Amino acid sequence: MSERDELATRLGEAMDNGEFEMFFQPEYNAVGAPIAVESLLRWRHPERGLVPPVVFLAILEDSGQILPLGRWVLGEACAYHFRLVEAGWPGVTVSVNMSTAQFEDPGMVDYLRKLVGEFKIPAGALELELSESTVMAEPDRSVRIMGAVRELGVSVAIAEFGTGYSSLATLHRVPADKIKIDRSVVRGVHANPDGAAICRSIVSMAHGKGLQVIAEGVEMHEEHAWLVGNGCDGVQGYLFARPAPFEAMLKALGPLPA
């Protein structure tokens, strides 16, 4: 409790001190070409070094500090899209994880509209990642907000999918563009009949709706081969690239497209 209180106090100062930074992890399609980079927040504490988000995100949520920081992250993602274009990757989407509090913020869509206009973000170049639990908490509201986001030309991905929160009947009407299968389902899928059955069902359902399917947390060649062979449109995980600062991430993207 003492450590949590200390971190909560320091988090209040960290943004003003410029201690937050962005890391990125690429997504690749079935033939190995990069299609997106996921933005991941990191806190570089002056004494503790790089602090993983699992340590501080819940504190940010509880304190309400996630809202101003989330807006900063959205702005950074838009700025990094511009840098991707300059580096020769105009077709690579930048995705941003959005917390439940951000998604429910009444000013979120207007702020997103402002950023899209300010940075001249083309349709499909920016993507919001929402957890399955966030989307299913209040499906009617989620459908409305996601529709407004997509009208701005911003794509929507449902991440951590397969963790058991959703009703497939409800999900059928959710206006998403992409499903990201949770790493807990992907792990060892090539040798796990239950996981394999779940993955096949997700792929079949998503493709029936015209959605892309990305497998998260891929760490083994056997998993990758099984996933691609069973219809996954793309993969993401340590097997291909770990989260890294922007310049290091660029190297992981490989040679520029012809």
What does the alpha-carbon distance between residue 164 and residue 25 come to, in Å, rounded to a whole number?
25
Three-state SS string over 123-169 comes to CCCEEEEEEHHHHHHCHHHHHHHHHHHHHCCCEEEEEEECCCCCCHH
| CATH code at position 191 | 3.20.20.450
Residue 95: give the domain boundaries: 2-252
How much is the pLDDT for 168? 63
Q: pTM here?
A: 0.93
Taking a C-beta distance cutoff of 8 angstroms, is the pair 230, 186 a contact? no
The secondary structure of the chain in percent helix, strand, coil, rounded to multiples of 5, reads 50, 20, 30
- Whether 161 is in a domain gets the answer yes
Q: Answer whether residue 158 is part of any domain.
A: yes
Q: How many domains does the chain have?
A: 1
- Taking only the tens of pLDDT, the chain with its 258 residues reads 777 777 777 888 888 888 999 999 999 999 999 999 999 999 998 888 888 888 888 888 887 888 999 999 999 999 999 999 999 999 999 999 999 999 999 999 999 999 999 999 999 999 999 998 888 888 889 999 999 999 999 999 999 888 765 556 666 788 999 999 999 999 999 999 999 999 998 999 899 989 999 999 999 999 999 999 999 999 999 999 999 999 999 998 988 876
Residue pair 37/249 in contact (Cβ under 8 Å)? The answer is yes
Q: Give the chain's count of helices (H) and strands (E).
A: 12, 9
Whether residue 257 is contained in a domain is answered as no
Name 121's Cβ contacts closer than 8 Å, sequence gap at least 6: 78, 81, 115, 153, 154
Report how far residue 110's alpha carbon sits from residue 154's, in angstroms, rounded to the nearest whole number. Answer: 13
80 domain residue, yes or no: yes
Bridge-based pairing of strands 20-29 and 155-161 is: unpaired
Which pLDDT score is estimated for 67?
A: 92
Classify residue 162: in a domain, yes or no. Answer: yes
CA angle at 233 for the pair 227 and 237, rounded to the nearest 5°: 60
In a domain, 258, yes or no: no
